[in-house]
Protein backbone atom coordinates (compact mmCIF):
# COMPACT_ATOMS: atom_id res chain seq x y z
CA UNK A 1 0.00 0.00 0.00
CA UNK A 2 2.86 2.36 0.84
CA UNK A 3 4.55 1.77 -2.51
CA UNK A 4 1.30 2.14 -4.43
CA UNK A 5 0.44 5.40 -2.67
CA UNK A 6 3.93 6.78 -3.36
CA UNK A 7 3.81 5.70 -7.02
CA UNK A 8 0.39 7.26 -7.61
CA UNK A 9 1.55 10.51 -6.05
CA UNK A 10 4.77 10.58 -8.09
CA UNK A 11 2.80 10.11 -11.31
CA UNK A 12 0.32 12.79 -10.27
CA UNK A 13 3.14 15.24 -9.50
CA UNK A 14 4.24 15.17 -13.14
CA UNK A 15 0.81 16.17 -14.46
CA UNK A 16 -0.59 18.63 -11.93
CA UNK A 17 0.11 22.03 -10.50
CA UNK A 18 -1.44 21.10 -7.14
CA UNK A 19 0.25 22.34 -3.99
CA UNK A 20 2.49 20.00 -2.00
CA UNK A 21 0.02 19.99 0.90
CA UNK A 22 -2.71 18.73 -1.43
CA UNK A 23 -0.41 16.03 -2.78
CA UNK A 24 0.45 14.93 0.76
CA UNK A 25 -3.28 14.69 1.55
CA UNK A 26 -3.70 12.62 -1.63
CA UNK A 27 -1.01 10.24 -0.35
CA UNK A 28 -2.41 10.11 3.18
CA UNK A 29 -5.86 9.28 1.82
CA UNK A 30 -4.41 6.21 0.10
CA UNK A 31 -2.42 5.26 3.19
CA UNK A 32 -5.69 5.15 5.14
CA UNK A 33 -6.08 1.63 3.70
CA UNK A 34 -3.38 0.46 6.13
CA UNK A 35 -5.01 -0.69 9.38
CA UNK A 36 -4.09 1.36 12.43
CA UNK A 37 -2.75 -1.71 14.21
CA UNK A 38 0.84 -1.59 15.46
CA UNK A 39 1.99 -4.60 13.42
CA UNK A 40 0.87 -2.77 10.25
CA UNK A 41 1.30 0.87 11.26
CA UNK A 42 1.89 2.54 14.62
CA UNK A 43 1.06 6.08 15.60
CA UNK A 44 -2.22 6.82 13.89
CA UNK A 45 -3.14 8.17 10.46
CA UNK A 46 -1.19 11.43 10.82
CA UNK A 47 2.10 9.80 11.81
CA UNK A 48 3.11 8.95 8.24
CA UNK A 49 6.13 10.87 6.96
CA UNK A 50 5.60 11.89 3.32
CA UNK A 51 8.39 13.70 1.45
CA UNK A 52 7.88 15.07 -2.06
CA UNK A 53 10.46 16.12 -4.62
CA UNK A 54 9.11 17.85 -7.72
CA UNK A 55 10.36 17.00 -11.20
CA UNK A 56 13.93 18.11 -11.83
CA UNK A 57 15.48 18.96 -15.21
CA UNK A 58 15.33 15.29 -16.17
CA UNK A 59 11.61 15.12 -15.41
CA UNK A 60 11.98 12.84 -12.38
CA UNK A 61 9.56 13.24 -9.47
CA UNK A 62 10.20 11.40 -6.20
CA UNK A 63 8.02 10.47 -3.26
CA UNK A 64 9.19 8.94 0.00
CA UNK A 65 6.76 7.42 2.51
CA UNK A 66 7.83 6.11 5.90
CA UNK A 67 6.08 4.84 8.99
CA UNK A 68 6.76 2.69 12.00
CA UNK A 69 5.55 -0.77 12.96
CA UNK A 70 5.90 -2.80 16.12
CA UNK A 71 6.90 -6.32 15.03
CA UNK A 72 5.48 -9.44 16.62
CA UNK A 73 7.52 -10.63 19.63
CA UNK A 74 9.62 -13.28 17.87
CA UNK A 75 10.48 -11.02 14.93
CA UNK A 76 10.95 -8.08 17.31
CA UNK A 77 13.57 -10.06 19.27
CA UNK A 78 15.56 -10.67 16.08
CA UNK A 79 15.21 -7.03 15.07
CA UNK A 80 16.52 -5.88 18.46
CA UNK A 81 19.51 -8.23 18.25
CA UNK A 82 20.29 -6.96 14.74
CA UNK A 83 20.01 -3.35 15.92
CA UNK A 84 17.10 -2.55 13.63
CA UNK A 85 14.73 -1.18 16.23
CA UNK A 86 14.19 2.31 17.59
CA UNK A 87 12.96 3.39 21.01
CA UNK A 88 10.06 1.22 22.15
CA UNK A 89 10.94 -1.63 19.79
CA UNK A 90 9.53 0.04 16.69
CA UNK A 91 10.93 -0.61 13.21
CA UNK A 92 10.83 2.00 10.45
CA UNK A 93 9.41 0.98 7.07
CA UNK A 94 10.31 3.26 4.18
CA UNK A 95 9.46 3.32 0.49
CA UNK A 96 11.08 5.56 -2.12
CA UNK A 97 9.50 5.87 -5.57
CA UNK A 98 10.78 7.90 -8.51
CA UNK A 99 8.83 8.51 -11.69
CA UNK A 100 10.26 9.86 -14.92
CA UNK A 101 7.53 11.71 -16.78
CA UNK A 102 9.54 12.28 -19.93
CA UNK A 103 11.38 9.30 -21.42
CA UNK A 104 14.97 9.82 -22.55
CA UNK A 105 14.18 8.91 -26.16
CA UNK A 106 11.56 11.67 -26.51
CA UNK A 107 13.00 14.63 -28.38
CA UNK A 108 11.86 18.23 -28.63
CA UNK A 109 9.56 20.21 -26.41
CA UNK A 110 5.93 21.28 -26.43
CA UNK A 111 6.52 24.12 -28.92
CA UNK A 112 8.22 21.82 -31.43
CA UNK A 113 5.44 19.25 -31.07
CA UNK A 114 2.64 21.71 -31.85
CA UNK A 115 4.67 23.27 -34.69
CA UNK A 116 4.18 20.00 -36.57
CA UNK A 117 0.46 20.78 -36.76
CA UNK A 118 0.74 24.37 -37.93
Domain residue spans of the chain: 2-115
Measure the CA–CA gap between 77 and 85, rounded to whole angstroms: 9
pTM listed for this prediction? 0.73
Burial 55-73 (b: 16+ CB within 10 A, else e): beeeebbbbbbbbbbbbee
pLDDT in the model for residue 96:
95
* Model pLDDT for residues 65-86, shown as the tens digit of each residue: 998 888 766 555 555 545 555 5
Could you list the pLDDT tens digit for every one of the 118 residues in the chain? Answer: 999 999 999 988 887 888 999 999 999 999 999 988 887 888 888 889 999 998 766 678 899 999 888 876 655 555 554 555 556 667 788 899 998 877 677 777 767 777 777 6
Amino acid sequence: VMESAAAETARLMTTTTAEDDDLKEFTLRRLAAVPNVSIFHAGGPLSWDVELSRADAGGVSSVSVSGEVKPLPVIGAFAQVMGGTAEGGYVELKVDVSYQSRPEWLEGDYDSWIAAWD
